[in-house]
Amino acid sequence: MSTPPFLELPAGVRASSVATPRGALAALSAEPAQETGAPVLLLPGYTGSKEDFIAVLAPIAAAGHRVVAVDQRGQFETPGDGDPSSYELKVLADDVLTVLAGLGAPAHLVGHSFGGLVARTAALADPAALRSLTLMSSGPAAIPAPANQTTALLAQVLPVMDLETIWVAKRQIESQTETDPPAPEIEAWLHARFVANHPVGMLRMAEQLLTEIDRTDELHALGLPVLVAFGDRDDVWPPSLQAETAQRLGARTAAWPGVGHSPAADAPDMTVADLLAFWATTESPS
């Protein structure tokens, strides 16, 4: 779970929505004073939201990119439904491709964690819609042991417990080892976000995090510019596995020292610097 560093929208960032055939996706967006680069779409991870990118939106726009971050289907402020098939990677990727089409030009697509699996699926379905792909804190396949234990536990309890009960138990467990708890207003917001998720969506996403196959070779065959970006303290997919995936892809790598699973929230300056540097390599005249 990513924790945004703040909640007040920065100057130039606005709450918005993006229409799709299955309903609108809640979004945060920022427009550059002068658009000099390709548009950017940011996808959050499991139990995350568009606010995970709140600290990087304005700097990306200031660099000349129109940028949009969305809540995926069933996440936080984007409504979901009770049909598990609504949350299949392919279906979520269809939402992404609709948003990309609305941006009007091949875009830089960034997927964090589970969002990386969705972004990869979208790239494989329609690579022409992308200028580049960034896999941020996202591995080549299912979350490996032992990090998968938390997700597996959630998958076990979601059919039999409500989200409020799960939240209370989750925070009691986390508080035993938490050295820097969130400020009260952030804690309250994290609580509200968690219980706003659609439980069927949470379950189906968890199941896919536990079962997704390795599609690295398929992605490599596209020849799409790819950045694999991660913190060296990532506790979900091991940094060594993400580095190996980058090597298999022939991808550019950004490895951030002292950073965990949520770089955009925890190290926004480094995140923006490396994203902009990568995107510049894809937009330079040939």
The pLDDT of residue 286 is above 50: no
Alpha-carbon distance values, 39 to 42, 87, 108, 253, 284 (Å): 10, 25, 6, 21, 15
DSSP state of 67: E
Query: How many whole angstroms separate alpha carbon 265 and alpha carbon 55?
Result: 7
For the chain, which residues make up each domain, given as ranges? 13-283
pLDDT tens per residue, range 139-159:
999 999 999 999 999 999 999
The pLDDT of residue 208 is above 90: yes
Kindly state the tokens that stand for 249.
Answer: 């892809």
Average pLDDT, the chain: 96
DSSP state of 86: G
pLDDT tens per residue, range 69-118:
999 999 999 999 999 999 999 999 999 999 999 999 899 999 999 999 99
The angle formed by the CA atoms of residues 264, 268 and 271, to the nearest 5 degrees, is 75
Whether the CB-CB separation of 72 and 48 falls below 8 Å is answered with no
Whether the CB-CB separation of 114 and 88 falls below 8 Å is answered with no
For residue 8, count other CB atoms closer than 10 A to its CB.
6
Across the range 226-232, mean pLDDT stands at: 98
DSSP state of 231: E
Q: CATH topology for 13-283?
A: Rossmann fold (3.40.50)
pLDDT for 178: 85
Query: How many whole angstroms separate alpha carbon 201 and alpha carbon 154?
Result: 12
The pLDDT of residue 248 is above 60: yes
Whether the CB-CB separation of 210 and 89 falls below 8 Å is answered with no
The pLDDT of residue 284 is above 70: no
pLDDT for 105: 87
Residue with token string 């950073």:
259
**Cα torsion angle, 166, 169, 172, 173, sign:** negative
Question: Band of the pLDDT at 280, cuts 50, 70, 90?
Answer: very high
Across the range 38-62, mean pLDDT stands at: 98
HEC profile for 235-251? CCCCHHHHHHHHHHHCC
Q: Is 128 exposed, middle or buried (0-12, 13-18, 19+ CB in 10 A)?
A: exposed
| Sequence-separated (6 or more) residues with CB below 8 Å from residue 254 | 227, 228, 229, 230, 270, 274, 278
Across the range 159-177, mean pLDDT stands at: 94
The pLDDT of residue 179 is above 90: no
Across the range 274-282, mean pLDDT stands at: 97
pLDDT for 160: 97
Query: How many whole angstroms separate alpha carbon 43 and alpha carbon 69?
Result: 6
The pLDDT of residue 54 is above 60: yes
pLDDT tens per residue, range 8-35:
999 999 999 999 999 999 999 999 999 9
